[in-house]
Amino acid sequence: MKSLTSVEHAFGSNVIFASTKIDLPERGVVALRGSNGSGKTTLLKLLGGVIHSSCGTVPDWRNRFNAVYLDTEYLTLDYLTASELLDMIRPLTGPIPDNGLLTDGMLATKVSDLSLGQRQRLVLTAALAFQHTDVVLLDEPLNGLDRDGSKAARSALLAAGQDRLVILATHEEDRWTDYDLTIGQDRKVRLSEAGVAA
């Protein structure tokens, strides 16, 4: 298990997590669920090191597990083509696997000219290609994808979950992941097998 015993975080007087235990499986795809403002993105960014935590549990967890957080805001070098961006990160990824997410046309297109769905495909391709990664953290990675894109993304995510942990925040109702991690109104975080009530 890649669980955290006690997570604490607040923005000023707004307490997001207070001594919250978070159970995480060793591997598999986990859908992070909860209402807007429940702390889904905050949790992902804490685990990914994007926002600082004064709680010792999170840095300790990050020392044990190599986690990467990516979303479409990662694509800041939007004057590059998708292919050029992937070439730039190749020392961290090695060869980019063909997972059906990117077409030749997308690869030749500047990032700034990609649609939201195409940008999501690019982020997913990069995130799942990183080597030596124990945990991949994604915020709404299926947002903006058409039916074919969503199908390809789900397939790529489930394949990645066979040898690492993938946590993705989602508002989708579909239960296609291995696990659900639900942040309740009480800010407690509950892990359950997908399709099983938390």
Top-ranked range on mean pLDDT: pick from 68-77, 108-117, 182-191: 108-117
Query: Has residue 102 been placed in a domain?
Result: no
Cα(150)–Cα(26) distance, integer angstroms: 25
Average pLDDT over residues 92-108: 90
Domain containing residue 183: CATH number:
3.40.50.300
Average pLDDT over residues 106-129: 93
Query: Has residue 159 been placed in a domain?
Result: yes
78: pLDDT strictly greater than 50 = yes
8 Å CB contact between 10 and 67: no
Q: Give the pairing of strands 14-22 and 135-139.
A: unpaired
Number of domains in the chain: 1
181: pLDDT strictly greater than 70 = yes
8 Å CB contact between 136 and 101: no
Q: Model confidence at 195, in pLDDT bands (50, 70, 90)? A: low
Average pLDDT over residues 23-52: 93
Query: Has residue 87 been placed in a domain?
Result: no
Query: Has residue 116 been placed in a domain?
Result: no
Structural domain for 133, as ranges: 4-73+126-193
Query: Has residue 37 been placed in a domain?
Result: yes
Query: Has residue 148 been placed in a domain?
Result: yes
So what's the pLDDT on residue 14?
A: 85
Query: Has residue 181 been placed in a domain?
Result: yes
What residues contact residue 4 under an 8 Å CB cut-off, 6+ apart? Answer: 21, 22, 24, 57, 58, 61
Both structure tokens of 35? 């209402």
pLDDT tens-digit map of 149-166: 999 999 999 999 999 999
